[in-house]
Structure 1
Amino acid sequence: MNKTIKKSIGKIHLWLGLASGLVVFIVALTGSLLVFEEEIDSFLHPEFYKVKTIGTTKKPIDEAIKNLNNSFGIDSIQRIYTYQEEQKTALIIAKNKDKKTFYFAVNPYTAEIVGSIEQTKHFFTIVNQLHRNLLLGKTGKLITGISCLIFIILLISGLCLWWPKKRKNLKQRLTIKWKASFKRVNWDFHSTLGFYSFLFLLIIALTGLTWSFKWFENSLYYITDGVAKKPSIKVENPPKPESQITTTIFYQNIINQTNTLFPYQGNIQIRLPNDTVNSILVTKENTEKTIPNQSSIAYFDRYTGDNIQTKPYESFSQGDKLRRIIYPIHTGSIYGLPTKIIALLVCIFAVTAPITGFVIWWGRKKK
């Protein structure tokens, strides 16, 4: 590579790194925590993940909702999660009369509420918001999105700077000289581990853009489907004056119908609409598949519980399928523990990169 070009790339790498370093540090640190979110959170709040004793028969989820209303004065249910694992608790997200959102853990065998925590006080809710928008809402989301774009440029420019002029120098670039001076070790750590992490961090950064910019998400649909992403389907379900929920197992009936519609092993999520027009949306993830997040969709009448529309995962467009697989790729959960460990290691390196890069710059500045 031309010396002048490499020098220009070096300046771009330096100043973009200094400009985005703090944001990259925060996003990488929170990202490394989120890789093992379930494992860490189950340690902090075990009652939200496993029941102490496995029963013989699960109670209808409606009994848990009744207990919830009696004990906590719930104003509205937002989401209900049920899981196929025998030891796993169910989860209900609901708002109280003060409009505060809570997570409630349910023992599916007794319908007992075994745990509760306010959403804003939940550790990983805070970590997730820090990761996505620095707790600054739309402004923070734009900042993290721009920083993610900068990070991609840093990765590519870093690879250009790492690339040796001669093949005989390749071995030197692939190892860290731990017995050398601190300055040399710091340089090797920054550049060598940057090379080994390059591809994984590039994939994580590119998939992360999906949540930051609509234009990037639409580009994925253009590549796969030839058209932009279609707006989220909302099956209308206008109020019916004489239609009221009369059954005591309304939500359990929806769960039972979902299991009949999609007769595979899987976890079910019920999303209640926050308006008075749309129907209940239910997703069922197919846990029999090797790759996670393959969920089919069904819509149900919010007054009668009847099935209105069904959309199996197999009928999704290629764009929709790609969109669903992006989350496990981004989090490293796509192939379970091995890819999660890789994601954790490269995220930890990304945490150190702004620090080692700053040390390199500071040393040169002093010189």
Structure 2
Amino acid sequence: MTGKKRNNRRKRILQLHKILGLVTGVVLFIVSVTGCLWVFKEEIESFYDDHKYVTPQDQEFLEASMIKELAENVIPKKTIHGVIYGKPDEAIEVVFYEAEPEIFYQSVFLDPYSGEFIKRIDNDAGFFGFILKGHLRLWLPDAIGSRVVSYSVLLFLIIIISGLFLWWPRNKKNWKQRLKFDWNKKTRWKRKNFDLHTVTGFYISSFGLILAFTGCVMAFNWFYFIAYKATGGDKDPRFVIPESEQAMVSKETTSFEYDKLIPILQRNYKDAHSFELHYPENDSTSILVEVSNSKGLYYNMDYLFFDQNTLKEIETNSIYGKYENTNFADKVIRMNYDIHIGAIGGIIGKILAFLVSLICASIPVSGILLWYGRKYKRKGKTRSTLIKNVPNLET
């Protein structure tokens, strides 16, 4: 490729990089800042979660049908999403969720032994409720905000890839300049800003790609499907709740059957962190129980399905079944959220995700300042002075 063609290609990529950066800059700043705050949600909430604990008793938990009745007395006429059974010293959490006509997402905490009401929490309110709304939809109506965020994150993938292309030095003498900050007392702020944008951008680019990629997997069904198939997936990537194998006999019999389920699972999964029971949606669907095998992680959960009349376990061809039956592609998709928030690497992974997200928030800021400095140069400066003070990505 001739030098002229190479320069023209570089200019086109630079123009694309600038346009996409300016269009998505504010969105990416908000998503990155709220993302780094969300990373430590569980750790921060642990400082004020006394309502989640009870004095353990030498007796079994209340039956699931009784828990359902008690919770519905606290929040009537709303749909129970699931009931979370934890350790003997943990309260039972009953999660209510409805998406229409507007999101209703609340939890009721009950004593697992007496059924005593402990606390009701609005999960969609408070500090982290506010943060999540900003991260997912910029505090706009969901139909608008979620799309703006989703496509901005998708464009962020292109911004990172084009930025890496522009960062790549043309000759060996520029490598040192692109890999570290070479500042002194005479270094002007424009030069420092350029280095902050390019040097830090390079070092976090790979992690930024991971955050953007995992974000796209959650944002777009087509992206999720392609990612699964590209890694060799051959199962149903959807979350599918199978039908019960037998028709319902009676409501009373059904209640009696799922009352037995949690005690059985507690004996069979002694090392489990928690169990989340989902009542059957109708007369024919199976009972879903999500078995959490690790605190703070979701990828290695066991999704179990039981006939609502006989409690016979039902197999599924979905990737959301028993973790021991997952293959490489299944694990990659199931790890997506844990990777996105850094939980896959424990506390070190979360710190890394926090720092990367925070630096990602600075990239659009330094980029806009870089653009502004070139677009609105102060009059009276000579061309040579401008070139000296404002490094060019094209060199």
Q: Give the alignment's TM-score, normalised by structure 1.
A: 0.85
Question: What SS does the corresponding residue of 2:292 show, helix, strand or coil?
Answer: strand
Question: What SS does the corresponding residue of 1:81 show, helix, strand or coil?
Answer: strand
Q: Distance in 1 between matches of 2:114 and 2:302?
A: 28
Q: Distance in 2 between matches of 1:344 and 1:147?
A: 20
Greater alpha carbon shift after TM alignment, 352-361 vs 245-254? 245-254
- Structure 2 match to 1:187: 194
Query: 1:257–1:58: structure 2 CA closer, same or farther, 3 Å change rule?
Result: closer
Question: What SS does the corresponding residue of 1:80 show, helix, strand or coil?
Answer: strand
- Structure 1 match to 2:343: 333
Q: How far did 1:65 drift?
A: 4.2
Q: Which runs of 5+ in 2 are unaligned?
A: 316-320, 378-395
Does the CA contact (< 8 Å) of 1:35 and 1:343 recur in 2? yes
Q: Distance in 2 between matches of 1:182 and 1:22?
A: 22
Q: What CA deviation, in whole Å up to 9, does each residue of 1:54-99 have, x standing for no partner?
A: 5555633645544434444465422111234x65443211369x99
Count residues in correspondence. 361
Q: Distance in 1 between matches of 2:258 and 2:44?
A: 30
Question: What SS does the corresponding residue of 2:169 show, helix, strand or coil?
Answer: coil
Mapped pair 1:7 → 2:17: no
Q: What CA deviation, in whole Å up to 9, does each residue of 1:299-331 have, x standing for no partner?
A: 2344x4723415422223443322111111111
Does the CA contact (< 8 Å) of 1:235 and 1:278 recur in 2? yes
Q: What CA deviation, in whole Å up to 9, does each residue of 1:133-187 have, x standing for no partner?
A: 3343344333222211211111111122222233333232222337432222222
Q: How does 1:35-46 map to 2 (within 5 A)?
A: 35-43=39-47, 45-46=48-49
- Structure 2 match to 1:162: 167
Mapped pair 1:346 → 2:349: no
Greater gyration radius: 2
Q: Distance in 2 between matches of 1:87 and 1:166?
A: 63
Q: 2:62 aligns with which of 60, 63, 68?
A: 60
Q: How far did 1:132 drift?
A: 2.6
Q: How far did 1:349 drift?
A: 0.9
Q: How does 1:1-367 map to 2 (within 5 A)?
A: 2-43=6-47, 45-48=48-51, 50-51=52-53, 53=55, 59-60=61-62, 62=64, 64-73=67-76, 75-84=78-87, 87-94=89-96, 100-108=104-112, 110-134=114-138, 135-176=140-181, 177=183, 179=185, 180-225=187-232, 227=234, 229-237=236-244, 242-245=249-252, 253-287=260-294, 293-302=299-308, 304=309, 306-310=311-315, 311-367=321-377
Q: Distance in 2 between matches of 1:166 and 1:185?
A: 21
Q: Distance in 2 between matches of 1:238 and 1:166?
A: 68
Q: Which amino acid aligns with 1:307?
A: K
Q: Which amino acid aligns with 2:62?
A: P
Q: Distance in 2 between matches of 1:103 and 1:246?
A: 27
Question: What SS does the corresponding residue of 1:232 show, helix, strand or coil?
Answer: coil
Does the CA contact (< 8 Å) of 1:47 and 1:105 recur in 2? no
Query: 1:279–1:172: structure 2 CA closer, same or farther, 3 Å change rule?
Result: same
Q: Distance in 2 between matches of 1:81 and 1:338?
A: 27
Query: 1:126–1:255: structure 2 CA closer, same or farther, 3 Å change rule?
Result: farther
Q: Distance in 2 between matches of 1:41 and 1:299?
A: 31
Q: Which amino acid aligns with 1:324?
A: R
Question: What SS does the corresponding residue of 1:269 show, helix, strand or coil?
Answer: strand
Query: 1:141–1:70: structure 2 CA closer, same or farther, 3 Å change rule?
Result: closer
Q: How far did 1:338 drift?
A: 0.5
Q: How far did 1:129 drift?
A: 3.6
C-alpha RMSD of matched pairs (Å): 3.2
Query: 1:219–1:7: structure 2 CA closer, same or farther, 3 Å change rule?
Result: same
Does the CA contact (< 8 Å) of 1:284 and 1:295 recur in 2? yes
Q: Which amino acid aligns with 1:272?
A: Y
Q: Which runs of 5+ in 1 are unaligned?
A: none
Percent of residue pairs bearing the same amino acid type: 31
Q: Distance in 2 between matches of 1:245 and 1:111?
A: 21
Q: Which amino acid aligns with 2:239?
A: S
Q: What CA deviation, in whole Å up to 9, does each residue of 1:207-239 have, x standing for no partner?
A: 111112222111123223455745432222499
Query: 1:7–1:47: structure 2 CA closer, same or farther, 3 Å change rule?
Result: same
